Structure 1
Amino acid sequence: MRLIRSILVLLLLLLVLVVGLLFTIQNDVLVPLNILVAELPAQRLSTWIILTFFVGGLAGLAASSIVILRLQASRLRLRRLLSTQKTKLARNQVTSS
């Protein structure tokens, strides 16, 4: 099963690479990018599009990392609270016996 998964991942990566190369070959028009305060030099259209997807992916990873860190901190706080409550409960059970 692990071998099949590795082969499928390898095939998927190869497919993405081939599609990326074909995309780059087909979109070779030079386009300058105007970002309101500056105009960047002309690059291939495929370069701008791939760069946009890459930056978007990084932004998504950064945003999800913030959420994950908050959830982990909350989980740690709740585990500490649970441990404290278990200790108090054990003490109360001993004193009431």
Structure 2
Amino acid sequence: MKAVRTLITTAIVVAMLALGVLFALANDGIVALDVLIYRFESGSLALWVLLALALGGVLGLLASSVMMLRLRARNASLTRKLTRVKTELEKLRTAGLTDGE
């Protein structure tokens, strides 16, 4: 199963690289990127678009990583709380049986 997953992942990466090359070949125009306080050197349109896409992907991964870390911490906290409650419940059950006899 792991080999199939690796094969599929490799095929997707190769397909994405091929699409990136085709996109770069189709968009060979030169543009200058000017943001409010800085002007970047002229570069190909495909380069700027692919860089923007990559930056958006990285920022999205960072944002989702922060959310995942919060969720994992919350999950660990709730798991510890559940363990404490189960232990307390078991003590109460056994205490009730020994006191009642």
**How far, CA to CA, are the matches of 1:10 and 1:75 in structure 2?**
33
Question: Structure 1-normalised TM-score?
Answer: 0.88
**Cross-structure match for 1:82:** 82
Matched, 1:31 2:31: yes
In the superposition, relative to structure 1, how do residues 6 and 66 fare at CA in structure 2: closer, same or farther (>3 Å)? closer
Change (3 A) 1:65 1:91: same
Which protein is bigger by CA-based radius of gyration?
A: 2
Counterpart residue number, 2:71: 71
- Which amino acid in the other structure matches residue 53 of structure 1? L
Alignment of 1:1-97 (within 5 A): 3-97=3-97
Counterpart of 2:37 in 1: which secondary structure? coil
> Percent identity over the alignment?
32
Structure 1 pair 31–74 and aligned structure 2 pair: CA distance change class (3 A): same
Structure that is richer in strand per residue: 1
> Which amino acid in structure 2 is aligned with residue 87 of structure 1?
T
Mapped to 2, the partners of 1:5 and 1:84 lie a distance apart of: 39
TM-score (norm 2): 0.85
**Distance in 2, Cα, partners of 1:2 & 1:73:** 29
Change (3 A) 1:91 1:71: same
Count of paired positions? 97
1:5 CA displacement: 4.5
The alignment partner of 2:28 has SS state of coil
Once residues 66 and 8 of structure 2 are traced to their aligned partners in structure 1, the CA distance between those partners, rounded to angstroms, is: 31
Aligned partner of 2:84: which letter?
A: T
How has the CA–CA distance of structure 1 residues 6 and 79 changed in structure 2, closer, same or farther, with 3 Å as cutoff?
closer
Mark the runs of 5 or more structure 2 residues left unpaired by the alignment: none
